């Protein structure tokens, strides 16, 4: 039953990625060219509502289903890993025009060429696992 | 009802994305897609080569189910909700045609010059897609999250690391489009 819920939330996410066009290479290019407010509006409104909702959850001590704590773990403090990692991801995001969510959504939408991007992403993840101890974190 | 077939405006799409995040929070999970890349490597046996992948991947099964749903959602949107053409700012579309001979804006969801099946016979284009993927995989795992984990979940939780990561995403993206695109395309 819970498994089905994750699939259904995922289906909803996939439809939103496609219909908002956030999964489109063109929209990512347009965003980095500052050609439209569209992508900034999507991320901005999601974050504003997210901040408000999470503040309410924290102040009222709202629990997840099954009365477990909400998964709101703070990330470990550091600058280089987020900045360098972020820049490397940003380079790939702009080139492929897709972040990890849309990669999966686009494969389902019927773009076999995006499978190459996914293969690359798995190789990149594997490289990170191998090189991790040599990188500044 | 007609408007469901049009592009969903930002003020509809953004709140729906935060709804996805809250639904997952209520399920006891944190919205973040890129950790699936680590899970998939772990399932593929990467734990034999690096401790980073020695994880109990079954605990991450929910996230694989989530992206599996995402794939179904992509299929539904393309086949039944006419997500097939993306119209962008005319000036930007013209620049794409003039500077890089990418002329499919307004006619396709993804540029056919980069993503159509015929491109798959060209090693240079395959290399572009592969390198883009490698940067995405390496970068998101180094940064500990991607657009969903940092820019949506992390910023919503007012986490400074996520702000640093998001600034990094934009530095990298701007560098790619403004300095590297003229070299690559």
Judge whether A46 lies within some domain. Answer: no
**Among residues A69, A22, A118, A1, which one has the least CA distance to residue B151?**
A22
- Asked if B141's CB is within 8 angstroms of A129's CB, the reply is yes
Question: Residue A1: its pLDDT value, please?
Answer: 80
Domains in chain A: how many in total? 1
Judge whether A44 lies within some domain. Answer: no
**Left if phi > 0, otherwise alpha if psi is -120 to 50, otherwise beta: which for B108?**
beta
- Asked if A116's CB is within 8 angstroms of B133's CB, the reply is yes
Q: What is the DSSP letter of B55?
A: S
Which of B20, B30, B116 minimises the CB distance to A12?
B20
Judge whether A66 lies within some domain. Answer: no
Q: B182 at the A interface (CB within 8 A)?
A: no
Chain B residues close to A125, C-beta within 8 Å: 37-38, 40-41, 137-138, 140-141
Phi, then psi, of A75 in degrees rounded to 5 = -80, 155
Judge whether A128 lies within some domain. Answer: yes
Judge whether A95 lies within some domain. Answer: yes
Chain A residues close to B113, C-beta within 8 Å: none
d(CA A70, CA B94): 47
d(CA B40, CA A126): 10
**Among residues A120, A112, A115, A111, which one has the least CA distance to residue A92?**
A120
Radius of gyration of chain A (CA): 18
Judge whether A17 lies within some domain. Answer: yes
Question: Residue A13: its pLDDT value, please?
Answer: 98
Judge whether A22 lies within some domain. Answer: yes
Q: A136 at the B interface (CB within 8 A)?
A: no
At residue A64 the predicted structure's pLDDT band, cuts being 50, 70 and 90, is confident
d(CA A114, CA B32): 20
pLDDT at A27 exceeding the cut of 80: yes
Lowest mean pLDDT among A11-25, A66-80, A112-126: A66-80
CA B38 to centroid of chain Cα atoms: 16
Question: Residue A15: its pLDDT value, please?
Answer: 98
**Among residues A104, A121, A122, A120, which one has the least CA distance to residue B44?**
A122
d(CA A16, CA B144): 24
d(CA B79, CA A54): 35
Interface test with B, best of A34, A35, A37, A47 (most B CBs within 10 A): A47
pLDDT tens-digit profile of A115-130? 999 999 999 999 999 9
Split chain B (185 residues) into runs of 10 and give each run's mean pLDDT: 89 98 95 97 97 95 98 98 95 97 97 93 96 98 96 95 97 98 95
Query: HSE on the CB side for B150, CA within 13 Å?
Result: 31
Tell me whether 0.90 is exceeded by the ipTM. yes
The H-assigned helical ranges of B27-176 are 35-43, 61-80, 90-100, 112-115, 123-143, 155-156, 160-175
Question: Residue B70: its pLDDT value, please?
Answer: 98
- Asked if B177's CB is within 8 angstroms of A21's CB, the reply is no
Judge whether A14 lies within some domain. Answer: yes
pLDDT at A75 exceeding the cut of 80: no
Percent of chain A topping pLDDT 90: 85
Question: Residue A71: its pLDDT value, please?
Answer: 74
Which B residues in the span 51-90 are in contact with A, Cβ-Cβ below 8 Å?
52-53, 61-63, 65-78, 81, 83, 86, 88-89
Question: Residue B1: its pLDDT value, please?
Answer: 66
pLDDT at A10 exceeding the cut of 80: yes
3-state secondary structure of B123: helix
d(CA A51, CA A61): 15
> Nearest-CA distance from A136 to chain B in Å?
10
For B103, the token pair is: 């002329």
Task: For chain A, give the mean pLDDT.
Answer: 95
**B140 with A100: CB under 8 angstroms?**
yes
Structural domain including A19 reads 2-36+74-134
């Amino acid at each position: 039953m819970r498994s089905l819920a994750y699939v259904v939330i995922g289906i909803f996410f996939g439809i939103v990625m496609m219909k908002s066009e956030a999964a489109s290479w063109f929209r990512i290019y347009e965003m980095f060219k500052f050609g439209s407010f569209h992508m900034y509006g999507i991320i901005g409104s999601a974050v504003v509502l997210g901040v408000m909702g999470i503040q309410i959850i924290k102040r009222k001590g709202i629990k997840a289903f099954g009365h477990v704590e909400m998964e709101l773990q703070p990330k470990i403090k550091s600058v280089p890993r987020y900045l360098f990692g972020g820049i490397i991801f940003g380079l790939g995001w702009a080139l492929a025009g897709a972040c990890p969510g849309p990669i999966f959504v686009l494969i389902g939408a019927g773009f076999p060429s995006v499978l190459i991007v996914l293969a690359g992403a798995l190789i990149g993840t594997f490289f990170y696992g191998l090189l991790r101890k040599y990188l500044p974190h | 009802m007609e408007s469901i077939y049009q592009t969903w405006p930002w003020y509809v799409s953004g709140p729906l994305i935060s709804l996805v995040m809250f639904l997952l929070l209520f399920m006891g999970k944190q919205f973040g897609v890129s950790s699936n890349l680590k899970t998939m490597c772990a399932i593929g046996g990467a734990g034999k080569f690096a401790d980073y992948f020695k994880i109990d991947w079954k605990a991450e099964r929910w996230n694989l189910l989530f992206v599996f749903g995402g794939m179904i959602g992509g299929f539904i949107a393309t086949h039944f909700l006419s997500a097939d053409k993306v119209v962008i700012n005319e000036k930007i579309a013209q620049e794409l045609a003039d500077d890089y001979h990418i002329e499919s804006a307004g006619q396709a969801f993804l540029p056919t010059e980069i993503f159509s099946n015929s491109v798959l016979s060209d090693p240079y284009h395959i290399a572009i897609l592969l390198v883009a993927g490698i940067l995405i995989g390496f970068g998101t795992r180094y940064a500990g999250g991607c657009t969903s984990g940092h820019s949506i979940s992390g910023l919503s939780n007012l986490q400074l690391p996520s702000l640093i990561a998001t600034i990094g995403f934009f530095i990298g993206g701007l560098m790619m489009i403004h300095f590297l695109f003229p070299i690559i395309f």
